[in-house]
Amino acid sequence: MSGKPLLEQLMQALRCLPGVGPRSAQRMAFHLLERDREGGRHLARLLEASMERIGHCGRCRTLSEEAVCALCANPRRSDAQLCVVESPAEVAALEQATDFGGRYFVLGGRLSPLDGIGPREIGLDLLARRLSEEGTEELILATNPTVEGEATAHYIGQMARERGIRVTRIAHGVPLGGELEYVDGGTLSHAFAGRRDY
């Protein structure tokens, strides 16, 4: 261990959380030590256990304590639809916002060759196996509308089409409650090109 006082080490360690700078780290450390030691102990135990026990689901790669996550194990969900997302947080977002009843596949990133991330690094060999073996009828591409997200969608779309699977892509457009005047040009042109019968 380094010779630094524990308090300083604690504040330094708290800064590994997103959005936590030196001042917030200091407040957190003082709060736990002065006002909520039991909460701090509880947090420490849970952190320890989570880091040890939470891994990735062997089928969809989302975060899971079990070898197969609850969504993949649920027999009431349909195997016909498979939705591909970039991160576990997006599974949670879709589950809360939609009534989607199919399965998921979590990439844990996106194709970004310049960062050394190719098809294998985001688990596409596993996805290819699933597409070949399971009776997927529709593959829903829900990667983000960035250039890397588009490249990822295209690559996966080709994989699915080669296997005769219908491929759909989530729509991109004007946010609800938004006003056209303030929407950026790229989004607006996309929304306009993707208009639907009404």
Partner 1 sequence: MATDSLELRAAYILHRRAYSNTSLLIECMTPDQGRLPLIARGAMGRDSGGLQPFVPLLIRWSGRGEVKSLGAYERGAPPLSFSGERLFCGFYINELLLRLTRREDPQPSLYGLYEATLLQIAGAVSLEGLLRRFELRLLEELGYGLNLLLCDAHGEGCPVRADQWYGFDVESGPVSPAPRDGVRVSGRTLLALDGGGALDETVLREAKGLLRHVLRHYLGERPLKSRELFTRL
> Which stretches of the chain bind partner 1, using CB under 8 A?
18-19, 111, 113-120, 124-125, 128, 146-147, 150-151, 154-155, 158-159, 162, 184-187
Of residues 63 and 117, the one with the C-beta less far from partner 1: 117
Of residues 5 and 19, the one with the C-beta less far from partner 1: 19
What is the nearest approach in angstroms of partner 1 to the Cβ of residue 162?
7
What is the nearest approach in angstroms of partner 1 to the Cβ of residue 70?
28
What is the nearest approach in angstroms of partner 1 to the Cβ of residue 94?
19
Crossing angle of helices 124-133 and 147-162, in 10° steps, is 30
Of residues 32 and 122, the one with the C-beta less far from partner 1: 122
Of residues 114 and 176, the one with the C-beta less far from partner 1: 114
State how far Cα 182 lies from the chain centre.
Answer: 28
Closest residue by Cα to residue 123 from 139, 107, 136, 141:
107
What is the nearest approach in angstroms of partner 1 to the Cβ of residue 160?
12
Of residues 32 and 153, the one with the C-beta less far from partner 1: 153
What is the nearest approach in angstroms of partner 1 to the Cβ of residue 49?
26
Of residues 64 and 152, the one with the C-beta less far from partner 1: 152
Task: Provide the greatest CA pair distance for the chain.
Answer: 69
Buried b (16+ CB within 10 A) or exposed e, 1-33: eeeeeeeeebbeebeeeeeeeeeebbebbeebe
End-to-end CA distance of the chain: 66
What is the nearest approach in angstroms of partner 1 to the Cβ of residue 118?
4
Distances (CA, A) of 44 to 38, 50, 180: 10, 10, 48
Q: What is the DSSP letter of 114?
A: G
CA distance 179 to 66: 45
